[in-house]
Amino acid sequence: MTGVGMPLRLRARLFRDAVLVALCVVALACAVVPLVWVLWDVVAVGVANLSLEFLTSLPAPPTIGGGGWANAIVGSVVVVGLAAAIGIPVGVGTGIYMSEYGANPLGRSARFLSEVMAGLPSIVAGVVAYGVIVVTMGQFSALSGGIALSLLFIPIVAITTQEALQMIPKDQREASFALGVSEAPTTLRVILPAAMGNVLTGVMIATARVVGETAPLLFTVFNSRYWMEGLDRPTATIPVNIYSYAISPFEHWHEQAWTGAFVLVTMVLTLNVAARTLWARRARFMAGR
Amino acid sequence: MAESMRTRALKVSFGKNEAVRGVDMDIEPRSVTAIIGPSGCGKTTFLRALNRMHDHTPAARVSGSVFLGEEDIYANGINPVELRTRVGMVFQRPNPFPTMSIRGNITFAPKRHGLARGRELDELVERVLRQAALWDEVKDRLDHSATSLSGGQQQRLCIARALAVRPGVLLMDEPASALDPTATQKIEELIYELKKEYTIVIVTHNMQQAARVSDYTAFFYIGDLVEFGETDAVFTNPREEQTEAYITGRFG
């Protein structure tokens, strides 16, 4: 069709289409540009000061310079590991209940509470863990931090697990029932494995969410300048270190805060890629390739 | 092995909708009984009452009796899970477990029921795959994913999987309706072989299929069993006018 013969109304419609697409592109740019900018800063400034010393040694006094965040890296891995160790079984279990047995008031309340908890301001989780665990134990500890983070971890995993299980077709359950297999093994051996890709995505989202949380850790693990001494002791973590180094008056510490942020982002990314790679083989098998 | 089944005043309803309205039927062992009728006539609902699949549908209510041999399967003390190892089922769409291998699909239930282990499992896999006429096509790739098979092969795998728990009765809900003609023919040949050892009840939309594979035919209409008899008689000389109208294609 040539432009000359094009009816006016069609031209107006095509113009509106073009405007809509343009608006979407502008919105996309507003979303992506700051993200790329932040990542670029973290990488550029962070990598500049990345060294073996940073990854392997303890913090040095600001007046001396040098030193590393090895204790905080270990602390973050342990605290987030604790959150996952609590959050994965509890979250997946809750999700299974809500999906497979949840057509009752208990199941519906669990879903409602999970949604509320998923929107819980993280500092509230910290205050709760402080009140319940830190006060009872009489000291800050890695354990209380892991529990505070698990409060944020559980609802994300529970909701994604429920939704992942609901996506598995009913005929898979019936196939198993028709073989005389009862409900529990059907859920654990047929439905959950088939939904595992999406459950794993939920676990990754939850991990990424909690690994950078700072507020709940301030109340719970607090901080330490030494290697971790035990789950019942205050512990250094990357996010709390970033916070305290960034507000310090020392230029050298500011640079280390950037490097810490870079290490944190890299850890999340590596974990994601590793999980995806491991999962890809399984997904290919399930797709029959 | 092959067992007979009888239904007496069998009714199934979903809320106010009565889908099966009091059916008496005697199903002979080592034979194929076809259930035909227009969509929504209750044939699938009837079939699913024979292995208590309705137990998993909260809205479904079943009354009357279904006997497997001399045992009422709806009596107190009958465990529906155990019952289904005696009355197996094959569904309309092939539904292999995608997370499991070809072999894993077959061994999944027998392992749980303690029917076989170790070497016995290998023998079981070969035996049921041969029975399902699938062995030669898959013997070199038993560890491949079940979803790597074609639709017709998947359906034969589902039949092999059902046979692996040694049922006496095999219920088939339109087992070939999602398959192409070649695969359909294979399934029909398979049914013909299987009836030597099993009691088979098959729901089908396809009247030629019913005529080809079955010994007895039941015609359902709006939840009632209108006519039931030997397939030859039902197709060549139906007693009821409705049956004749349906099989000659005047409605349906």
**Which residues from chain B sit within 8 angstroms of residue A190, using beta carbons?**
97, 99, 108
Between CA A268 and CA A279 the distance in angstroms is 16
pLDDT of amino acid B236: 94
Q: Are strands B5-14 and B60-68 parallel, antiparallel or unpaired?
A: antiparallel
Same structural domain for residues A99 and A35? no
| B13 beta partners | B18, B61
pLDDT of amino acid A150: 97
Which pair of structure tokens corresponds to residue B16? 């106010």
Q: Flag whether pLDDT at B134 surpasses 70.
A: yes
pLDDT digits (tens, 9 = 90+) for A196-237: 999 999 999 999 999 999 999 999 999 999 999 999 999 999
Give B213's Cβ-side CA count (13 Å radius). Answer: 32
Angle between helices A238-246 and A70-96 (to 10 degrees): 130
Same structural domain for residues A61 and A115? yes
Q: Give all strands of the β-sheet with B32-36 in edge-to-edge order.
A: B87-90, B169-173, B199-203, B32-36, B216-221, B224-230
Would you say residue A231 lies in a domain? yes
Same structural domain for residues A98 and A195? yes
Between CA A230 and CA A139 the distance in angstroms is 12
- Whether the CB of B51 is below 8 Å from some CB of chain A: the reply is yes
Would you say residue A147 lies in a domain? yes
Q: Where are the domains of chain B?
A: 5-97+167-247
Which pair of structure tokens corresponds to residue A192? 């959950």
Same structural domain for residues A134 and A277? yes
Question: Complex ipTM, two decimals?
Answer: 0.94
- CB spacing of A285 vs B145 below 8 angstroms: yes
Q: Which of B70-84, B184-198, B238-252 has the lowest mean pLDDT?
A: B238-252
Local structure of B5: helix, strand or coil: strand
Going by C-alpha positions, the residue among B128, B217, B24, B11 that lies closest to residue A179 is B128
Which pair of structure tokens corresponds to residue A213? 């949380």
Chosen for mutation from A179, A187, A191, A196 (greatest number of chain B CBs closer than 10 Å) is: A179
Same structural domain for residues A77 and A33? no
Handedness of CA A273, A275, A281, A284 (dihedral sign): negative
- CB spacing of A175 vs B91 below 8 angstroms: yes
Domain limits for position A40: 8-48
Q: Please count the structural domains in chain A.
A: 2
pLDDT of amino acid A3: 55
- The number of angstroms, rounded, from the C-alpha of A172 to the middle of its chain's C-alpha atoms is 30
Most distant CA pair in chain B, distance: 57
Residue pairs between chains A and B whose CB atoms are closer than 8 Å: 82
Q: Flag whether pLDDT at A112 surpasses 70.
A: yes
- CB spacing of A181 vs B108 below 8 angstroms: yes
Angle (CA) A262-A267-A271 rounded to 5° is 150
CATH architecture of B5-97+167-247: 3-Layer(aba) Sandwich (3.40)
Q: Flag whether pLDDT at A2 surpasses 60.
A: no
Q: Flag whether pLDDT at A289 surpasses 90.
A: no
Q: Flag whether pLDDT at B1 surpasses 80.
A: no
- Whether the CB of B57 is below 8 Å from some CB of chain A: the reply is no
Which pair of structure tokens corresponds to residue B70? 């001399």
Going by C-alpha positions, the residue among B88, B63, B68, B85 that lies closest to residue B12 is B63
Would you say residue A1 lies in a domain? no
Residues contacting A130, CB < 8 A, separation 6+: A144, A148, A219, A220
Between CA B244 and CA B239 the distance in angstroms is 8
Give B95's Cβ-side CA count (13 Å radius). Answer: 24
Same structural domain for residues A80 and A28? no
Would you say residue A119 lies in a domain? yes
Of chain B, the percentage scoring pLDDT greater than 70 comes to: 100
Between CA B200 and CA B188 the distance in angstroms is 12
pLDDT of amino acid B202: 97
Would you say residue A218 lies in a domain? yes
Same structural domain for residues A17 and A71? no
Q: Flag whether pLDDT at A64 surpasses 90.
A: no
Same structural domain for residues A149 and A271? yes
Same structural domain for residues A148 and A268? yes
The backbone torsions φ and ψ at residue A51, rounded to the nearest 5 degrees and listed phi first, read -150, 165
Question: H-helix or E-strand containing B33?
Answer: strand B32-36
Same structural domain for residues A103 and A17? no
Question: H-helix or E-strand containing B49?
Answer: helix B43-49
